[in-house]
Amino acid sequence: MNIIILVKLVPDLVEELAIDSSGNKLDTAWLRMIINEFDDHAIEQGILLKERHGAVVTVVAPDLEGVDDVLFTAAAKGADKLIKIKGDFSGANNHAMARAFSAIVKELQPDLVLTGVQANNDLDGSLGPLMAGCLEMPYVGYISGVTLGDGKLKTRKEYPGGLIAEMDVSLPAVLGIQAAEQPPRYVAVSKVRQMMKTSTIEERTAPGLDMAGGPTISRMFQPEAAQHATMITGNPEEVATKLVTIFKELGVL
Amino acid sequence: MNQDIYVVIEHLRGQVAEISYVMLAGGRELAKGFGGSVAAVLLGNKAQGLAANPSPASGQYLAVDKVLYMDHPALSDFTSDAYQKALAELIARDQPRAVIFGSTSIGTDLASTLSIKLNLPMVSSCSSFSADGKFTSQICGGKIMAEGELPGPTALITMVPGGYKTEQGQNSQAPTLTQVEISSVEPVRVTLAGYIEPESGDVDIAKEKVLVSVGRGIQNQDNIVLAEELAKALGGVVSGSRPVIDQGWLSTSRLVGKSGKHVKPKIYLALGISGAPEHAEAITDSDTIIAINTDPAAPIFNIAKYGTETDLFDLVEVLTSQVKAAKGG
Amino acid sequence: MPERIDFWGIPFTWGSPAIYVYFLMALGSIILIFRFYQRARLWWRVGRPDVRWNRIHIRLWRVFQYAIVQAKLLRQKYPGLMHIGLAWGFFTFFLGTALATIDSHFLKILQGNFYLVYKFVLDSFTILFLIGAGMAAYRRFLQRPPRLTLEPRFTWSLVLITLIVMGGWVTESLRLAVEQPAWKLWSPFGWLLAQAWIATGASGAALLNWHLGLWIFHLLLVTFTIATLPVGTLLHVLTSPLNVFFSKLDRVTGKLAPIPQTAKGEPIYASTLRDLTWKQLLDGDACTECGRCQDACPAFAAGKPLSPKQVVLGVRVALQQDGRLLFNNENKAPLLATGNLSAEVVWSCTTCGACVCECPVLIEHVDTIVDFRRHLVIEGQMDTELQGALENLGRYGNSFGQSERMRARWTQPIQPVVKDARREPVEYLWFVGDYASYSPTLTEITVKTAEVFRKIGLDFGILYDAERNAGNDVRRVGEEGLFEMLMEKNSAVLGKCTYQAIVTTDPHSYNTLKNEYPINGEKPLPVFHYTELLDMLIASGRLKFSKKLGYKVTYHDACYLGRYNGIYEAPRRVIKATGCELVEMPRHNDGSFCCGAGGGRIWMAEGEIKERPSESRIREAVKLGNVSALVVACPKDVTMFRDAVKTTGNEQHLEVRDLIELVHAAL
């Protein structure tokens, strides 16, 4: 079975975000790009499928700062092939990325394409369903479980309130992973460093970046809250006392 | 080609989802600018009744003049492939000014694929619109907002809740129902095998009056007992945000959030919860939100009534003992 | 003239008794050697190689200190005296027999005054031995402390050796009863019993018969004991001195060994017995099951499943069960399965080193536990909290998951600005550490530290955003690759700075900076803990206090300052210099009881516990009665103990203060 996992790098929200001087983009000076956490789950799900059914797992990622580490970490978890798509992805939207990836992905003839259901910087849809459109494959998102059973793919799709729908999907297909069946495994730094020595990242070039289909952003800003909470200050004893007063006012005490 | 705004109504097992009303409200705002009207689009199998009268008990209808209803056996429950094909046919034929989907498990399965298939522009995570055709979207966990002009000729939009109230998408006027033709949705590559009910769990947090909710800030499973003590003292129960449930520290029946439960308690005490949109949307109906978080920039403070930067590990036990003392226990 | 008579009272009717004696001794010895070899060869056939026979003169001195003199056993008075009685007794008897053999065949030395002294010494040690045996019997059958293994095989050994010694004593007393030599009082104990025989009125012939009978009994018993030595609990007579001889020499306690590699350069992780060194397997066989390590272990006291004794014995049991199969290359059973060597056991360790410190035979428990952890890390077998902490350490260089840019935020209110050691030369480069930098409750102490340094006139600077976790506990958790990465980053930054010495306020950082940086055998950096630095400045007169605080305090020796690096007196001198009166807790100096945060435990889920180590320690401090503060010198101690003061309800009785706070107040 041939599984391809698409990975995006997204801004790390631990850092303070700022808008650059143009007013419509994120300031990249202090920006750290990390793997999209849902794509991390997609990798985990892919490796689990490989461990259960045997598969060749290929991880594809765009050439952004930090991508090598992401790919080698995937290799240390069990990915078989690593592909880095060269190009200037710094301003690319998801449509451009989907088009850039799809030519290469088509060549690899996957049975299953996995990617995270969303990413924190999505403004023009998500990579998964866009890829499905480019590859003309069916797409199901919000997946939290995947099993292979007699030629069919059985998936668990999440709805609000904890409701799950079991969807049968014919292959080849694209799935948007919400959560892998187990949290992404830990891989020791020494294993990743080992991979840096023994694995190779295949580089492919994307034929230009076609951003058509995404919106034009005229302004980015940090929201001023319409309101802000009334802040309670003091040492813990004082704060607790004030809260107890509030509880009494609300009739809970 | 028309200047109408189509809204793809989401329904699951005979219930219209609340996001649909939010989308209708957003659609109405857009329609003012473009001069068209809002049409609700509902797909199903023998679901005319639902389309015409989604909430008989309330006497409220979808706030539109017309509902476009597509009927087909393959559309009885939502599945991505059949729905996507049916909508592709409709959109290609009618070419409305915009089509609004929910940024949900249903809407996001459809919008992006249609964008590529029909070569139409899209914009996602929109929380509100302006009458002059601008959208406002949120990214990066709600920390950054992006604005722009709605692209054309047909913009595919996914919407998140928060910009409009449910009531703005309802009115007491029953709309007209128009059945729309579908030629074929074959081959159907995704089929529904069945539903799995959520764990019933010991409590229904949606019914509780006091919720003491924990987020990533609780740091590990052992510390949840602090929240439990406080909840017990206040006569409430413990709930949690996604990271806590994903780690297995609380059962899924306690999940508050987009993929969990929407809650409307009297008091929602958020301990170490940042307030990212997926969580915020599920608690905005609470009477009073009180947020305890050491990060002064946490978005939760924008929806909370009261807040404090005191470290929960310094505060919670003190608070619990003061509550117990106030109860005379 | 007093002299020893060969085979006194033993008939030569069936040939010289020497034949029988030497035959039986040879037989016993051959069996012993054979059986011992069968056991010992497993060590080097199954275990990996390890060079441990360098600097033999030091090794022999250690054997003398720990295996002969055994003074370390006196850390606990009762069992210490007990065993010294037993062991020195036997050493003396062994020497005595050796002298007798020389006397028999080579040189008549046992005559005259020398012989009298010889008799007296042997007799005295007989009494000491029997007192020891009595103490042992009382301990094993009546006291029954839980740290011992109360099984019949130990009883059996005690009975054997006691009967041997009693046999010798009775035999001698019978001879004395018959011979009644003029120098009988030089064997006072023997003579005491001899008078009882005389009092029975038995004839000389009868006494001689009894004498012969006892002598034969004694001989057979000794032969039996020698032959069964390798399979009973007396094996430690051979394995413990060996273990002491081969103990760790080239590495200080605070330094872990790097991950071993195969000839091809592939790392070796401890998943099966084959992955352990022969010395680690010998550790298993050398363990006397005394349990002192278990008694000292904070994890065990807290009710965690870890017992250092059971970890060591787990290796022994595995070797006994699987050794032969592994020897024949048949079995590759994983070691860390369930029971005493499970992942849960291995993760419970705080690496405080109390077990290693207590062990009378110098077993190295912590090294083996870290080896097991290295295997678990590679397998990804850890709880999610630890995983999160390690991922944060890898990405942000701190376990809190906060940006590097927040590391020096605590310096913001300080004027003038704290020097940036990356940009300008400083005398003292202050390596602050994660907890002191990021933990909101601790930064108050960090600021005070800066104020103290400034007031003393120290030329100091910090690394600001470039500092990373020093990696001490990352290494002890078994994530060697991450440790190397952190060390490389820190070393690169330090390499570009100009400084005379590094001072740190965190003992964990201190330990690794001093003992493990850099790893390629280059000259180690000059590193001080702030208590050492303050002590030096007080001694040189540069630091003077304007006030005498007059508090009555107690001091907790941090594991990585005390046991690991021998810093006990410096902090105490500083405390006294601030005018405080120091009262010691029962568990102090190298007996100090760990707060429970080390070894990465502070990053892991607590799990089920009976009583937190930190709470036990607070209770110990409060029990002193009139002490107002517990003084510590480690930020993690501050965190753990302040929490414990709250959870034990002792806010009115005890404060927890970092030593720098006393210094700050007294300046």
Q: What are the pLDDT digits (tens) for C323-356? A: 777 666 665 666 666 566 889 999 999 999 999 9
Q: Does residue C277 contact residue C49 with C-beta atoms inside 8 Å?
A: yes
Residue C294 pLDDT > 60: yes
pLDDT category at C552 given cuts 50, 70, 90 is very high
- Does residue C495 lie in a domain region? yes
- Residue type at C585 in one-letter notation: M
Centre a 10 Å sphere on the Cβ of residue B209 and count the other Cβ atoms it contains. 16
- Asked if residue C224 and residue C116 are part of one domain, the reply reads yes
CA distance B68 to C279: 81
Q: Does A190 touch chain C (CB under 8 A)?
A: yes
Helices (H), A18-136: 37-53, 67-77, 94-108, 127-135
A139 vs B contacts (CB less than 8 Å): 80, 109, 113
- Does residue C30 lie in a domain region? no
Q: Which two tokens stand for residue C197?
A: 């025989």
Alpha-carbon dihedral sign for residues B239, B241, B245, B249: negative
All partners of chain C with 3 or more CB pairs under 8 angstroms: A, B
Q: Which of A14, A186, A193 sits opposite C380 (nearest CB)?
A: A186
Last residue of one domain, picked from the residues C230, C245, C260: C245
**Which positions of chain B have pLDDT values less than 50?**
none
- Does residue C260 lie in a domain region? no
- Residue type at C252 in one-letter notation: V
How far is the alpha carbon of C621 from chain B, nearest alpha carbon, in Å?
A: 23
Q: Which two tokens stand for residue C185?
A: 């009082």
What are the DSSP calls for A28-44, one per residue?
-TT--EEE-HHHHHHHH
How far is the alpha carbon of A32 from chain C, nearest alpha carbon, in Å?
A: 10
- Does residue A80 lie in a domain region? yes
CATH architecture of B5-180: 3-Layer(aba) Sandwich (3.40)
- Judge: A190–C403 Cβ closer than 8 Å, yes or no: no
What are the DSSP calls for C539-557, one per residue?
HHTS---S-----EEEE--
- Does residue C257 lie in a domain region? no
In the prediction, which pLDDT does B143 show?
86
Nearest-10 Cα torsion for B198, B204, B207, B210: -130
- Asked if residue C367 and residue C291 are part of one domain, the reply reads yes
How far is the alpha carbon of C267 from chain A, nearest alpha carbon, in Å?
A: 9
Q: Does C401 touch chain A (CB under 8 A)?
A: yes
Q: Does residue A59 contact residue A74 with C-beta atoms inside 8 Å?
A: yes
Q: How far is CA C263 from the centre of its chain?
A: 32
CA distance C346 to C283: 17
Q: Could you tell me the residue range of the domain that residue A187 belongs to?
A: 2-205
How far is the alpha carbon of B3 from chain A, nearest alpha carbon, in Å?
A: 19
Which residue is it, tokens 């958020």?
B270
B317 vs C contacts (CB less than 8 Å): 646
- Asked if residue C400 and residue C343 are part of one domain, the reply reads no
- Judge: B140–A244 Cβ closer than 8 Å, yes or no: no
Residue C264, C-beta contacts closer than 8 angstroms, at least 6 positions apart: none
CA distance A10 to A120: 7
All partners of chain A with 3 or more CB pairs under 8 angstroms: B, C
Q: Does B137 touch chain A (CB under 8 A)?
A: yes
- Judge: A188–C479 Cβ closer than 8 Å, yes or no: yes
B311 vs C contacts (CB less than 8 Å): 440-441
How far is the alpha carbon of C441 from chain B, nearest alpha carbon, in Å?
A: 9
- Judge: B307–A229 Cβ closer than 8 Å, yes or no: yes
Residue A2 pLDDT > 80: yes
- Does residue A68 lie in a domain region? yes
Return phi, psi of residue B160, to 5°.
-105, 155
- Does residue C89 lie in a domain region? yes
Task: For chain B, give every residue range classified as CATH 3.40.50.1220.
Answer: 205-326
Average pLDDT over residues A112-127: 96
Q: Per CATH, is B205-326 categorized as 3.40.50.1220?
A: yes
Q: Does B200 touch chain A (CB under 8 A)?
A: no
In the prediction, which pLDDT does B202 show?
78
- Does residue A232 lie in a domain region? no
C605 vs B contacts (CB less than 8 Å): 220-222
- Asked if residue C75 and residue C217 are part of one domain, the reply reads yes
Average pLDDT over residues A59-84: 96
Q: Which of A14, A191, A192 sits opposite C401 (nearest CB)?
A: A14
- Judge: A190–C395 Cβ closer than 8 Å, yes or no: no
Task: Please give the share of chain B, as a percent, with pLDDT higher than 70.
Answer: 100
Helices (H), C49-76: 56-62
How far is the alpha carbon of A8 from chain C, nearest alpha carbon, in Å?
A: 17
CA distance C327 to C309: 25
In the prediction, which pLDDT does B1 show?
73
Alpha-carbon dihedral sign for residues C398, C403, C405, C407: negative
Provide the pairing of β-strand C419-420 with C460-462. parallel
- Does residue C12 lie in a domain region? no
pLDDT category at C227 given cuts 50, 70, 90 is very high
pLDDT category at C525 given cuts 50, 70, 90 is confident
Number of domains in chain C: 3
- Asked if residue C233 and residue C333 are part of one domain, the reply reads no
In the prediction, which pLDDT does B294 show?
86
Residue A68 pLDDT > 90: yes
C268, C477, C485: best to mutate for the A interface, most A CBs within 10 A: C485
pLDDT category at C274 given cuts 50, 70, 90 is confident
- Judge: B294–C441 Cβ closer than 8 Å, yes or no: no
Q: How far is CA C667 from the centre of its chain?
A: 39
Q: Is the peptide bond before B153 cis (omega within 30 degrees of 0)?
A: yes
B253 vs A contacts (CB less than 8 Å): 162
CA distance A100 to A8: 13
Q: What is the CATH number of the domain that holds A61?
A: 3.40.50.620
Residue of A nearest to C381 (CA): A186
Residue A245, C-beta contacts closer than 8 angstroms, at least 6 positions apart: none
- Judge: C484–A15 Cβ closer than 8 Å, yes or no: no
Residue C522, C-beta contacts closer than 8 angstroms, at least 6 positions apart: none
Q: Which of C380, C403, C481 sits opposite A190 (nearest CB)?
A: C481
Q: Could you tell me the residue range of the domain that residue C291 belongs to?
A: 273-379
Beta pairing partners, A168: A154, B191
CA distance B121 to B106: 19
C347, C405, C441, C651: best to mutate for the A interface, most A CBs within 10 A: C405
Residue A91 pLDDT > 90: no
- Does residue C619 lie in a domain region? yes
Number of domains in chain A: 1
Q: Does C259 touch chain A (CB under 8 A)?
A: yes
What are the DSSP calls for B154-221, one per residue?
SEEEEE-TTSS-GGGGEESSPPEEEEE------S--EEEEEEEPPP--S--GGG-SEEEEE-GGG-SG
pTM, rounded to two decimals: 0.91
Centre a 10 Å sphere on the Cβ of residue C166 and count the other Cβ atoms it contains. 18
Last residue of one domain, picked from the residues C338, C361, C379: C379
Burial class (CB in 10 A: 0-12, 13-18, 19+), C72: middle
Nearest Cα neighbor of B64 from B158, B150, B177 is B177
In the prediction, which pLDDT does B219 show?
82
Q: Does residue A181 contact residue A61 with C-beta atoms inside 8 Å?
A: no
What are the DSSP calls for A130-176, one per residue?
HHHHHHT--EEEEEEEEEEETTEEEEEEE-GGG-EEEEEEPSSEEEE
A6, A127, A139: best to mutate for the B interface, most B CBs within 10 A: A139
Return phi, psi of residue A154, to 5°.
-105, 125
- Asked if residue C415 and residue C322 are part of one domain, the reply reads no
- Asked if residue C527 and residue C630 are part of one domain, the reply reads yes
- Asked if residue C428 and residue C365 are part of one domain, the reply reads no
Q: Does residue C129 contact residue C90 with C-beta atoms inside 8 Å?
A: yes
A9, A14, A27, A30: best to mutate for the C interface, most C CBs within 10 A: A14
Residue of C nearest to B249 (CA): C384
Last residue of one domain, picked from the residues C379, C409, C430: C379
- Asked if residue C579 and residue C430 are part of one domain, the reply reads yes
In the prediction, which pLDDT does B245 show?
87
In the prediction, which pLDDT does C584 show?
97
